[in-house]
Chain A
C-alpha cells in the first residue's frame, strides 16, 4: 500500500479512519442510488429517464448551465485581466467580493435575484419596459446560474495570469506584433487550460444547482423546470424509483464532468510547470 517509508507517524490509523469515515458518510449513502435503480427493469428505467418532461428539463439545465458558464467565461477572463494587470480604486473590495457566490447560501441568492428581476424590482422594472422578462422565464435560470458560477473562471485564471512571464509579450511586441495579436497569439493560448477548467467547473456546478434557481424560475413543467427540481417533485409524490433513475443519469454526467475537469487540471499543471 505504502510506496516510500517515512518516519512520520500515523499512516495506519489515518488511513483506517479516513476510509471508514468516507465509507460511512459518502460511499454507503451513494451506493443507494445504484441499489435502488437495480430494482427497476431496463424498460421502466429508460421510459422514466426519456419521458418528455424529463427531456425538457435536461434541455433547460444543459442550455442554461452552458449559457451561464459562457457568460462567466467572457466576464471571468475580463475580471481576471483587470484585477491582475490594472490598478483602480475599489480593486481590493471587488477582488474580495468575487467569492460571494461561494459564501452566500443559495436560497438567499435566489430570493435576492428574484426580487431584483421581478416585474417591479430594481432591474426588472426597466427590462420589462423594453419587453424583456427575466423572472419566471428560462432567462431567469441563466441569471441565477451565472451568479453561482461567477468565481470559478476568475479564480482559476488569476494565478496563471499573475505568473505569466512578461518576456514573451515584450518579445512579441518588439517583433512588431500589435497588442491584440500579442493577446490572442501569446497570452490567451497560455490561459486556455485554466480558462477551460474554470468553464467546466462553473458548468458542473450549474448543472446540479437548486436553491438559487427554484425561486427565480417559476418551476413550470416543460418550460422552466430544471432537472434537480424534477427529482425533488418526484420525491414529493413518493415516486422514489423515478427520482432515483433521474438522479443516476445526473450523477453519471457529473462523474464524466469531474473526470474531464481532472484531465484539464493536469494539463494546466503541466503547462504551469513547463513555464
Chain B
C-alpha cells in the first residue's frame, strides 16, 4: 500500500539532491498550514455549525417538509441528468478514443465548453430559450408549458453543466487501453454489443464509476445555473443548494448548515470513491504493464 514517494535513496548520495531537514520541515509545515486554513477549516465548520444545537435540532432541520421536498427534487434531477450524461459520455468517449476523424480536437473542445462557462451563463441561456421573453416562450405559453422557473428548467440546466464529466473521465482511460482487445473480440466473431459488455465495459468500469460519481456530485450540488432557472418557490422549485441559500439568508444558520452538511458528506464520499478508484486502476495499470513486459520477454526469447 505504501507508495515509494518521498526522498529517493540512490547510490549517488541523497544529500546532494535533497534539502536540509529543517527546510523540509518548514516547507511541510507551511503546506499543511495552508491546507488546514483553506480546506480543513471550512469542512469542519460545516459540521460544527450543523451540530451546534445538538443532534435533535439537526434532525429537526432535515425533517422539515420544505427541506424534504428539496431533497426529493435534487434526487429527481440527478436521476434524470446523470443517466443521460452517462450514455452520452460512453458514446462520445468510444467515438473519440477509438476512431480517428476530422475535427476530433474541435469536438473535444466542445465537450469541455461547459467547464469554461460561468454557471450563471449556463442558466441564462435556458431563460433566453424558454423564458416568456425568450425564443420559444410565446409558443410554450400558448400550450401552457412551463420550462423555465419550473422543474424542467432545473433539469435542463443541470444536464448542461454536468455533461462533460463522464466523457472527460473515460476518454483518457479508453485511449490508454488501446484497440487490440476489442479488435480481437470482433475478429473472433463477437457482435458490437457482446464486445462492449464483455470487453470494453469491464476494462473501463472504475473510470466509469468515478465519472458517474463526479457527475452526480455536481448534479446534486449545482448552485449558480440552477438558481437562475429556478422559480425559488419553497417546497416546489428548490433543490438542496437553493434551500441552503434560503435558510442562510433567513439567518437560520443551524438549519442551513444541517442541510449543507448533507452535500458536504456527499463531497467526502466522492473523494473517498476517487481514492479507491485511483488505487484500483493503479493496480490494474501496473498489472497490465507487467503483462506487457511478460509479452516482450516472450517475443525476445523467440
Choose, from A44-52, A189-197, A228-236, A267-275, the stretch at the interface. Answer: A228-236
- Between A and B, 23 residue pairs with Cβ closer than 8 Å are A9-B195, A10-B94, A11-B95, A11-B99, A21-B91, A32-B125, A35-B128, A85-B6, A88-B32, A98-B39, A99-B274, A100-B39, A103-B267, A105-B223, A107-B260, A111-B256, A115-B49, A147-B42, A169-B17, A170-B16, A235-B127, A238-B133, A255-B116
B 176-189 to A, binary, CB cutoff 8 A, 1 in contact else 0: 00010011001100
Residues of A near B208 (CB, < 8 A) are none
Interface presence of A126 (CB below 8 A): no
Interface presence of B66 (CB below 8 A): no
Q: DSSP majority for the A interface?
A: helix
A78 touches B120 (CB 8 A): no
B112 touches A208 (CB 8 A): no
Residues of A near B179 (CB, < 8 A) are 6, 8
Interface presence of B131 (CB below 8 A): yes
B35 touches A97 (CB 8 A): yes
A150 to B28, alpha carbons, bound, how many Å? 17
Interface presence of A63 (CB below 8 A): no
Return the contact of B221 from the options A10, A108, A251 (Cβ within 8 A).
A108
Residues of A near B8 (CB, < 8 A) are 166
B7 touches A85 (CB 8 A): yes
Quote the shortest CB–CB distance from B242 to chain A (angstroms).
8
A 212-240 to B, binary, CB cutoff 8 A, 1 in contact else 0: 00010000000000011101100100101
A68 to B156, alpha carbons, bound, how many Å? 31
A112 touches B46 (CB 8 A): yes
A106 to B263, alpha carbons, bound, how many Å? 10
A4 to B91, alpha carbons, bound, how many Å? 19
Residues of A near B183 (CB, < 8 A) are 6-8
Q: Which residues from chain B sit less than 8 Å from chain A, CB to CB? A: 5-8, 10, 12, 16-19, 24, 27-28, 30-32, 34-35, 37-43, 45-46, 49, 88, 91-92, 94-95, 98-102, 107, 109-114, 116-121, 124-129, 131, 133-135, 159-160, 163, 179, 182-183, 186-187, 191-192, 195, 214, 217, 220-224, 227-228, 241-242, 244-245, 248, 253, 256-257, 260, 263-264, 266-268, 270-272, 274-275
Interface presence of A79 (CB below 8 A): yes
Quote the shortest CB–CB distance from A95 to chain B (angstroms).
9
Interface presence of A157 (CB below 8 A): no
A215 to B45, alpha carbons, bound, how many Å? 15
Residues of B near A130 (CB, < 8 A) are none
Q: Which residues from chain A sit less than 8 Å from chain B, CB to CB? A: 1-4, 6-11, 14-15, 17-18, 21-22, 25-30, 32-33, 35-36, 75, 78-79, 81-88, 90-91, 94, 96-109, 111-113, 115-116, 121-123, 146-147, 150, 166, 169-170, 173-174, 179, 182, 204, 207-211, 215, 227-229, 231-232, 235, 238, 240, 243-244, 247, 250-251, 254-255, 257-258, 262
A210 touches B95 (CB 8 A): no
Q: Write the chain B residue with the least CB distance to A207.
A: B118
Residues of A near B118 (CB, < 8 A) are 207-210, 227-228, 231, 247, 250, 254
Q: Write the chain A residue with the least CB distance to B124.
A: A247
A86 touches B7 (CB 8 A): yes
A151 to B270, alpha carbons, bound, how many Å? 15
A29 touches B129 (CB 8 A): yes
Number of A-B contacts (CB under 8 A): 291
A101 to B39, alpha carbons, bound, how many Å? 8
A229 to B133, alpha carbons, bound, how many Å? 21
Knowing that A102-B214, A111-B248 are A-B contacts, what are 18 other residue pairs whose CB atoms are under 8 Å apart, sorted by A's residue number? Answer: A7-B183, A8-B98, A9-B192, A25-B160, A29-B125, A86-B7, A90-B32, A91-B5, A98-B35, A106-B224, A111-B244, A116-B45, A170-B10, A208-B117, A208-B119, A209-B118, A231-B124, A247-B118
